[in-house]
């Protein structure tokens, strides 16, 4: 994904960069451009609503120097809406 395509938005899924977290994932439920925080939930359970500073949401697994991140969350994809939700 190029830098122009990536942006923090509702439906983005991120994975914990800390290897001790065992691949824990979060889902962005709302984010407004210009704000410092995004509302998130645990994924896939979609429970445990909370807010996180967007400085912890990263585009890549690796840092600018090429080493794996050890803190924050890195982007893994977008949530796919089910057909049942789409037809409701």
Note down pLDDT in tens along the chain; length 88 residues. Answer: 555 688 999 999 999 999 899 999 999 999 999 999 999 999 999 999 999 999 999 999 999 999 999 999 999 999 987 655 555 4
Q: What's the CA angle centered on 35, arms 30 and 37, to 5 degrees?
A: 60
Domains in the chain: how many in total? 1
In a domain, residue 74? The reply is: yes
Full domain range(s) for residue 42: 12-81
Question: How confident is the model at residue 30, as a pLDDT?
Answer: 96
In a domain, residue 57? The reply is: yes
Question: How confident is the model at residue 24, as a pLDDT?
Answer: 95
Rounded to whole angstroms, the Cα distance separating 25 from 47 reads: 12
In a domain, residue 65? The reply is: yes
Tell me the pTM: 0.84
Question: How confident is the model at residue 51, as a pLDDT?
Answer: 97
In a domain, residue 6? The reply is: no
């Amino acid at each position: 994904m190029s830098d122009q395509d990536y942006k923090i938005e509702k439906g983005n899924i991120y994975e914990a960069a800390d290897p001790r977290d065992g691949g824990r994932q979060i889902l962005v439920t709302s984010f407004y451009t210009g704000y410092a925080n995004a509302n998130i939930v645990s994924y896939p359970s979609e429970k445990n609503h909370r807010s996180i500073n967007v400085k912890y949401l990263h585009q890549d697994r690796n840092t600018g120097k090429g080493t794996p991140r050890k803190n924050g969350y890195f982007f893994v994809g977008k949530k796919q809406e089910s057909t049942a939700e789409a037809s409701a």
